[in-house]
Amino acid sequence: MSTPKPRTLPASEDPLISRRGFVGATGVLLAARELAGDDRVNAQSAVPHTSIERFSERESLRAAKAVVKMAQKTILRISREVWNKPAVGLREQEAMEVHIRELEAAGFTMVSRNSGGHPTAFVAQWSQGSGGPKLGFLPEYDALPGLGNAAEPLVKPADNGLTDGHGCGHNCLGAGCTGAAITLKAMMVQRNVAGTLRVYGCGAEENVGAKIFMAKAGLFDDLDAALAWHPAAVPVTGTFVTNANHFMRVSWKGRTAHAGMDPWSGRSALDAAELFAHGVNLMREHLEPTARLHYIYEIAGVAPNVVPDEARIWIQARDITTPRVNAITDWLAQLAEGAALGTQTTATFQVELGMAEYIPNETLAERVFEHLQHTPLDWTAEEQAFAQACQKAMGANEAGLATQVAPMIQDAKFGASSDVADVSWNTPVAVFGWPTYPLGVNLHTWGVTACGGTSIGDKGSLAAAAILAAVGYELLTEPELRTKAKEELTRRLDGRKYQAVQNMDLQEMREVSARCQKGMADEYVSGVDTN
Ligand SMILES: [Zn+2]
């Protein structure tokens, strides 16, 4: 079998790659979003799907496609049921149970529920032979508030009356990942290949990411590789870095008083919060240009005639490396204390949750990139018309659905963060984007929900399942590919050790979930990505 070198574009050749300002959940899909929305890429830079004949399709992908056909009903049942049971993170038990039911029916056994102490995480496993490699799959299944929509190309409430919806396409994502595990199991049985397949139910990706909890518990430590994909507007993969981040809660306690009669008896916690926020904005000048700081006031008093005795700020810090985020965090803690001193209040500073920066794996990305080019984008006229109707309704260019693979991303840095990063420190990760919604449309919008409930989303789940199963098969049967991917991870880590940042109890997790349900709905509806 030939092993062609996939076509790549160095970053310098592509003006998009070095652009900043990506927002979203997973780096690769962010790139897809940006690339999809940019006519230069659609017109010039993408890899024409018809030009792939110069590479031969690997046998593993051909075999995976055939098995996916047999598993099609199962895969699409998962996607559709999860689409019909949308719920935000930590409330998505029903969606989780769909995955567990199908995995058990396919012969997987449950290793754990509440994995890593996360209420909507699970681990299921299937093994054959002894001493074989271990691969992980990362399905997600949580929805977003306010994005419930019918499977129609216009803003229309879902038939089930639910206001949550799969505006990030996690119904397709989950079906593709779990479907890939089921597909690969069938291939291993057919061909008597030894190995262990482990499916990690990655609950609450949008608000309290389960991967961090499972990484903290060491559940990815013994894997040879992990495989994932995300719905996108174009097929895309490559090497990229998502930011490390910390979610912090800072609260102050003061003393209440009548704001008119004896304000001198009170000590305002809100004053402390305002002083802190001012300090944050002064800090910005002295941080690296890659740093990001964003905060909201969660508690800021109840009435202007009462001196607030309680205030709370929820702040997030991001930068391209964990040490940089740690340094910003230390400074913020000093600022919180300084604000308390200056207002005679007391401060509490807590780092609740954090994500590492993503460690890309070019070895696996190159393999994935090959498969992307051998996977058809065969949309029907109806699907293209549906996509164009969505685009029209959303004010996007009526370019329809992607028909080309995006150039391989090389060493791009994104502003956003992803909990897939916490897996990537512990095992090599292969990840890519595959279209389930129209060009120029953003994730976290009703259009993604709508398309995910149609054959457009279905084709994405099936294509992703085949690509993931093919890469999985190659990892199981090509020891040199595993070794090369692991060596690359070791080289990129350069002695650094993973340290999970997860200090939330169940009550705090539920508070975040409730806040996301209520307070973030408007932002999601507007298409602003808040992850
Ligand atoms: Zn997502």
Q: What is the pLDDT of residues 444-480, one digit of tens each?
A: 999 999 999 999 999 999 999 999 999 999 999 999 9
Please identify every residue whose CB atom is under 5 Å from ligand 1, which is an ion. 25, 168
Specify the length of the chain in residues: 531
**Ligand 1 centre distance from Cα of residue 175 (Å):** 13
**Ligand 1 centre distance from Cα of residue 206 (Å):** 7
* Alpha helix (H) residue ranges in 224-292: 269-283
Q: What is the mean pLDDT of residues 143-172?
A: 91
**Ligand 1 centre distance from Cα of residue 478 (Å):** 30
Could you tell me if 153 and 57 are in contact, meaning their C-beta atoms sit under 8 angstroms apart? no
pLDDT in tens, 487-508: 999 999 999 999 999 999 999 9
Could you tell me if 137 and 103 are in contact, meaning their C-beta atoms sit under 8 angstroms apart? no
Largest CA distance in the chain: 86
**Ligand 1 centre distance from Cα of residue 169 (Å):** 6
pLDDT in tens, 44-89: 345 544 444 446 999 999 999 999 999 999 999 999 999 999 999 9
Q: What is the mean pLDDT of residues 20-43?
A: 42
Q: Is the dihedral of CA 7, 10, 14, 18 positive or negative?
A: positive
**Ligand 1 centre distance from Cα of residue 167 (Å):** 8
**Ligand 1 centre distance from Cα of residue 208 (Å):** 13
**Ligand 1 centre distance from Cα of residue 160 (Å):** 22
pLDDT mean across residues, the chain: 89
Q: What's the CA angle centered on 476, arms 470 and 480, to 5 degrees?
A: 105
Least confident of 25-39, 95-109, 119-133: 25-39
Q: Is the confidence at residue 382, as pLDDT, over 70? A: yes
Percent of the chain with pLDDT over 90: 81
**Ligand 1 centre distance from Cα of residue 26 (Å):** 7
Q: Is the confidence at residue 171, as pLDDT, over 70? A: yes
**Ligand 1 centre distance from Cα of residue 399 (Å):** 23
**pLDDT score at 15:** 29
**Ligand 1 centre distance from Cα of residue 260 (Å):** 49
Task: Tell me the residue ranges of DSSP E strands in 18-169.
Answer: 47-48, 109-113, 122-128, 134-137
Q: Any idea of the CA torsion for 286, 288, 292, 296, to the nearest 10 degrees?
A: -10
**Ligand 1 centre distance from Cα of residue 395 (Å):** 22
**Ligand 1 centre distance from Cα of residue 285 (Å):** 32
pLDDT in tens, 204-246: 999 999 999 999 999 999 999 999 999 999 999 999 999 999 9
**Ligand 1 centre distance from Cα of residue 168 (Å):** 5
**Ligand 1 centre distance from Cα of residue 30 (Å):** 10
Q: Is the dihedral of CA 378, 380, 385, 386 positive or negative?
A: negative
**pLDDT score at 29:** 52
How far is the C-alpha of 150 from the C-alpha of 446, rounded, in Å? 9
**Ligand 1 centre distance from Cα of residue 143 (Å):** 9
Q: What's the CA angle centered on 427, arms 422 and 429, to 5 degrees?
A: 80
**Ligand 1 centre distance from Cα of residue 166 (Å):** 9
Q: What is the mean pLDDT of residues 355-363?
A: 97
- Tell me the pLDDT band of 98, cut-offs 50, 70 and 90: very high
Q: Is the confidence at residue 274, as pLDDT, over 50? A: yes
Residue found under tokens 């001196």 = 307
The model's pTM is: 0.88
E strand or H helix at 76, and its extent?
helix 59-84
**Ligand 1 centre distance from Cα of residue 401 (Å):** 19
**Ligand 1 centre distance from Cα of residue 354 (Å):** 17
Q: Is the confidence at residue 359, as pLDDT, over 80? A: yes
**Ligand 1 centre distance from Cα of residue 303 (Å):** 38
Could you tell me if 175 and 475 are in contact, meaning their C-beta atoms sit under 8 angstroms apart? no
**Ligand 1 centre distance from Cα of residue 224 (Å):** 24
Q: Is the confidence at residue 340, as pLDDT, over 70? A: yes
Q: Is the confidence at residue 140, as pLDDT, over 90? A: yes
Exposed/middle/buried for residue 378 (C-beta within 10 Å: 0-12, 13-18, 19+)? exposed
Task: Tell me the residue ranges of DSSP E strands in 144-194.
Answer: none
Cα separation of the two ends of the chain: 42
**pLDDT score at 81:** 97
Q: What is the mean pLDDT of residues 406-413?
A: 92
Q: Is the confidence at residue 521, as pLDDT, over 50? A: no
- Tell me the pLDDT band of 529, cut-offs 50, 70 and 90: very low
**Ligand 1 centre distance from Cα of residue 447 (Å):** 14
Q: Is the confidence at residue 41, as pLDDT, over 90? A: no
Percent of the chain with pLDDT over 70: 87
**Ligand 1 centre distance from Cα of residue 497 (Å):** 26
Q: Is the confidence at residue 527, as pLDDT, over 50? A: no
Domains and CATH numbers, the chain: 11-242+363-492 (3.40.630.10), 244-356 (3.30.70.360)
- Tell me the pLDDT band of 377, cut-offs 50, 70 and 90: very high
How far is the C-alpha of 253 from the C-alpha of 270, rounded, in Å? 9
**Ligand 1 centre distance from Cα of residue 350 (Å):** 26
**Ligand 1 centre distance from Cα of residue 229 (Å):** 10
**pLDDT score at 36:** 47
**Ligand 1 centre distance from Cα of residue 46 (Å):** 23
Q: Is the confidence at residue 158, as pLDDT, over 50? A: yes
Q: Is the confidence at residue 531, as pLDDT, over 50? A: no
**pLDDT score at 440:** 94
**Ligand 1 centre distance from Cα of residue 219 (Å):** 21
Give 43 or 66, the one with higher predicted confidence: 66
Which range of 20-29, 41-50, 153-162 scores highest in mean pLDDT? It is 153-162
- Tell me the pLDDT band of 38, cut-offs 50, 70 and 90: very low
- Tell me the pLDDT band of 162, cut-offs 50, 70 and 90: confident
